[in-house]
Amino acid sequence: MTTIDRVTTTSSSVRLHTPFVTSLRRTETTDTVVVTITDSDGRTGWGEAPQVWQVTGESLASATACIELMLAPAVVGRRLDDRDDLAAAGAVVQRAVARNFGAKAAVDAALHDLFAQAEGTSVAAVLTTRADGIRDLLTTDVTLSAGAADALADTARSRVADGFTTLKMKVGTDAGTDVQRVAAVREAVGPDVAIRLDANQGWTREEAVAVIRALEVADLGVEFVEQPVVAEDVEGLAWVRERVGLPVMADESCYGPYDLERIIRLGAADLVNVKLAKCGSLTVGRDMLRRAHEEGLRTIVGSMMESHIGVGAAAALVAAEPTTEVSDLDAGWWSVASPVVGGVSYCQNQIRLPTTGGFGISGFVTAG
């Protein structure tokens, strides 16, 4: 009988090779709480809770407190012998506290990692019953931080030279010049590179419609526009979608299943971005993707600024339940180095997942 022996937390700060800038924030580090869960057979599962004050509201301190005071006591001593035990442990984590989705996602991921190791398989294999095989190589986009047109054009050329074929531009910092910036990037990379936009809630309803219509007139080949208005204004998201031709994606407006149902009911988006730090659980994320697909919504899985640990969990979700579009799994690519031994790895626009041993992580490179 395998039982959960202990849960530990460690704060991790990993330097980025390039500052990450959006309409909401600027950061030069990935700051997270790393969770490890050890079982009675000596195996260790890994998870990660990102600090993103401006999006989730969680901090290193709050995630640590949540995990140590509430989530750890809820799972320590529980059996983890079969999938029913895993589901029960996951449910206990979700019920233990309100919200705190990043902390929940970290513990949930570690539980799945632990269980997959015991089964000698990958986390993706634990999540799916797909008979057509699980991919261990996924394609990711790469983000272009918000900035001036000339700098963005230079960066875009560099990212294409790095092997990326889908660029996610951060806009929403200045509605008056956003179209100019997109045009500069399109001119720099040519017609064959995909460009998608993320406003990170940076526009008003009226600004969103004006900018998106201008993009349509300019015919810049934009795939879709993500989160044009503030997260709480789902009606505003629907209002914008009704008035533009480009597809609209919900990100910060779509945390969990109830948000997804509201978006479906209001016809507020063409696509949704599922993130573990928003929904709090791999199985919840998987079920949200399935529900979105049932309703004809297109999907991606995204990541906050997480290291290879959190990205590994997000990538496992995509491998288990493929998204309709290229997902946003580049967060670990921004790190100067991975904080752990093993796990996912990057090669140009590809991210490789371990096929056995859960997330494939064997220990820290650096901690603290």
- Say which of 104, 168, 275, 278 is annotated catalytic: 275
Check residue 69 and give left, alpha or beta (phi > 0: left; psi -120 to 50: alpha).
alpha
Strand partners, 347: 350
**Residue 162 CB neighbours (<10 A):** 12
Place of tokens 């009675």: 40
Q: Indicate the SS3 state at residue 55.
A: coil
Helix runs in 190-333, H state only:
205-218, 234-243, 257-266, 276-279, 282-294, 308-320
Q: What are the strands, taking DSSP E only, across the chain?
A: 4-21, 26-39, 44-50, 137-139, 142-144, 166-170, 194-198, 222-226, 248-250, 271-274, 298-301, 340-342, 345-347, 350-352, 361-364
The vertex-145 CA angle with 141 and 146, nearest 5°, equals: 135
Q: How many C-beta atoms lie closer than 10 Å to residue 42's C-beta?
A: 7
- Please answer whether residues 302 and 273 qualify as being in contact, where contact means their C-beta atoms are separated by less than 8 angstroms: yes
Task: Answer yes or no: 104 catalytic.
Answer: no
Q: Are 36 and 46 in contact (CB under 8 A)?
A: yes
Measured CA to CA in angstroms, residue 288 lies from 87, 141, 206, 264, 283 at distances of: 16, 21, 30, 12, 8
Cα 301 to chain centroid distance, Å, stands at 5
Euclidean distance between CA atoms 181 and 193, whole angstroms: 16
Catalytic residue among 104, 168, 170, 278: 170
- Within 8 A by CB and 6+ apart from 69, the residues are none
275 is catalytic: yes
Which residues are identified as catalytic? 170, 275
